[in-house]
Structure 1
Amino acid sequence: MQITIIGARGQLGQDLRLSLAADGHQLTCLTHQDISIENAASIEAALDQSSPNLIINTAAYNKVDQAESEPDIAFAINALGPRLLAQYCQKHKICLLHFSSDYVFGLEGLRKPAYKENDPPGPISAYGQSKLAGEYFIRAICSQHYVVRTCGLYGKAGKTGNGNFVETMLRLGKERDELSLINDQHCTPTSTHDLSAAITRLITTDQFGLYHATSQGKTTWYEFAQTIFDLAGIEVQTNPITTEQYQAAAERPRFSVLDCSKLEEVTGFSFPHWKQSLSTYLESPDLDINK
């Protein structure tokens, strides 16, 4: 299959490149310098050259707190950009795969069961609202689409710590004697390596629609960080705090665990538990946790 990846330099984009190439697909990899999804002319200029069967969009505005003060930018990239991509794909009869977020949920703060794809969304931040709007545009415009919601991504290409919670904790655990971490937001951090493997399976099915794709299990950011430190052998004092104590600009879901049974049924792919994936990531020869 001829596939164009938008956002190919990011941590998800790079793992997708490896997984899809290993599966024999022909890839065109575009970065922000090659294409601006907020601009229809840029989309046409970049995509007309590659003539893909499938476009995978990993480009997104992920500055959750900053989106509260600049929602216009968040919506331009997360909603209007996907809308333009959907229009292009529908016009040219191209499949579109787009990544969304667990942040499309949040209104049900005391919820216990994991969210399924047909559960009503309820975003509580400008970022979450922009991601949900992007979903709706794609689902309404492009008949051949996959919209994949995921959560807490971390991958080797994010080793600078930008958008990679694991790397940020590894750095802070060595720089500081004490850390305070939120312990009342329940979610499921996900390895980009595992997500890429799931996507490589999904695109061969032609079972278009909305999917949830995360590791198995659930945790809080406090427990996630403590597990990182335990596995990496880093001694640092960790203190659990509430969302209110952290005082972030944007409100986060207290519970955004996703049910991935639909994806598993369609693809036969089963995600590892988040602890297993984290251990595999930290044991990678490409990752020197002693730096």
Structure 2
Amino acid sequence: MRAAIIGARGQLGTELTTLLGDEVVPLTRDELDITDQPAVLRTLREVQPDVVINAAAWNGVDLAEEQPSAAFAVNALGPRHLAMFCGLEEVPLVHVSTDYVFGLDSGHAVPWREEDPPGPASAYGVSKLSGEYFARSVPQHFIIRTCGLYGRTPKPGYGNFVQTMLRLGHERDELCVVDDQHCTPTSVRDLASAIHSLVKTGSFGLYHVTNSGRTTWYGFASEIFRQAGIDVHLRPITTTEYGAPAARPAFSVLDCSKFEATTGQTLRSWQEALADYLAETPLAHGGS
């Protein structure tokens, strides 16, 4: 199966490209700007993929509050352009979305199911939900919502929460981390493998896919430092104290039972996935 990976230089795109090997045609932003509709049609017709996997996204959650049109161009119109190609050519579309399509219901405290009504609380979340709706216009679609992604990055210390914590843990004696946002950190390696398994089932639809378990960003940071053996004083703070421009979901743990029933797989715990990631990360061992 010839897969076109959109956003092949990002964390998830990199992992998918490695996993699929000879089966993949990696397309970076330099090679395909998904905000350019004619370029999407032209490039994908040249590639002739059997499936299109969209791992590209505008991930600047706070910046999207200032530049909603830019976020919408990538996160909503980009998937629309891909969906137009996939609809015309009858090619399945795999679109990766986010837990941030939830957030308005601040009292919600049980894992979100696919049939629960979304309600994004930020411009970023609205743009990603819009992308989902465009992707659904393709009869053969997989929409995969996930949470707290981390994976290989081009520059150690940057690019995801784990790398940032490791860098700051080496630079500072004390850190403040939000402790009232509940989530499930997810390894892109595990997510890439899950996507591959799901696509092979041919059971199209909307799926929630994360590692198992739940924590807060403070709990995640605590486990990062515990496993890495970094001695730093962590202070839990509230979302209000942190004061980010964009609203975040207070509870965005996703129920993955539909994925598990469809594939017969359950992703390992987030702590196990983190341990494997740290074993391959220089900053976790005092490197740079």
Which of 58, 62, 76 pairs up with 1:61?
Answer: 58
Q: What is the Cα deviation at residue 162 of structure 1?
A: 3.7
1:76 is matched with which residue? 73
Give structure 1 regions of 4+ aligned residues with deviation exceeding 6 angstroms.
Answer: none
1:18 is matched with which residue? 18
Q: 1:6 and 2:3 equivalent?
A: no
User: Partner letter of residue 265 of structure 1?
Assistant: A
SS in structure 1 at match of 2:3: strand
- Identity of aligned pairs, percent? 52
Q: 1:287 to 1:238 in 2, by over 3 A?
A: closer
1:260 is matched with which residue? 256
Q: What is the Cα deviation at residue 281 of structure 1?
A: 1.1
- TM-score, length basis structure 2: 0.97
SS in structure 2 at match of 1:98: strand
Q: 1:204 and 2:217 equivalent?
A: no
Contact 1:4 1:52 in 2 (8 A): yes
Please show how residues 7-46 of structure 1 align to structure 2 within 5 Å.
7-21=7-21, 26-46=23-43
Which of 246, 249, 268 pairs up with 1:250?
Answer: 246
Q: Distance in 1 between matches of 2:160 and 2:154?
A: 6
- TM-score, length basis structure 1: 0.96
Q: What is the Cα deviation at residue 287 of structure 1?
A: 6.8
Q: Distance in 1 between matches of 2:207 and 2:215?
A: 21
Please show how residues 119-138 of structure 1 align to structure 2 within 5 Å.
119-138=116-135
Q: What is the Cα deviation at residue 110 of structure 1?
A: 2.3
SS in structure 2 at match of 1:29: strand
1:85 is matched with which residue? 82
Contact 1:40 1:84 in 2 (8 A): yes
Contact 2:153 2:159 in 1 (8 A): no
Q: Distance in 2 between matches of 1:163 and 1:221?
A: 16
Q: What is the Cα deviation at residue 45 of structure 1?
A: 2.3
Which of 169, 173, 176 pairs up with 1:177?
Answer: 173
Q: Distance in 1 between matches of 2:155 and 2:251?
A: 27
Contact 1:156 1:287 in 2 (8 A): no
Q: Deviations over 1:233-260 (max 9, x none)?
A: 1001110000000000000000000000
Q: 1:231 and 2:227 equivalent?
A: yes
Q: Which runs of 5+ in 2 are unaligned?
A: none
Q: 1:276 and 2:272 equivalent?
A: yes
User: Partner letter of residue 23 of structure 2?
Assistant: Q
Q: Give RMSD over aligned pairs.
A: 1.3
Q: Deviations over 1:179-214 (max 9, x none)?
A: 000000000010000001101101111100100010
> How many residues are aligned here?
287
Q: Distance in 1 between matches of 2:33 and 2:235?
A: 42
Q: 1:193 and 2:189 equivalent?
A: yes
1:164 is matched with which residue? 160
Q: 1:158 to 1:255 in 2, by over 3 A?
A: farther
Q: What is the Cα deviation at residue 267 of structure 1?
A: 1.0
User: Partner letter of residue 68 of structure 2?
Assistant: P
Q: Distance in 1 between matches of 2:171 and 2:282?
A: 22
Q: Which runs of 5+ in 1 are unaligned?
A: none
Q: Distance in 1 between matches of 2:241 and 2:284?
A: 33
User: Partner letter of residue 198 of structure 1?
Assistant: A
Q: Distance in 2 between matches of 1:245 and 1:286?
A: 32
Which of 142, 145, 149 pairs up with 2:145?
Answer: 149
Q: What is the Cα deviation at residue 18 of structure 1?
A: 1.8
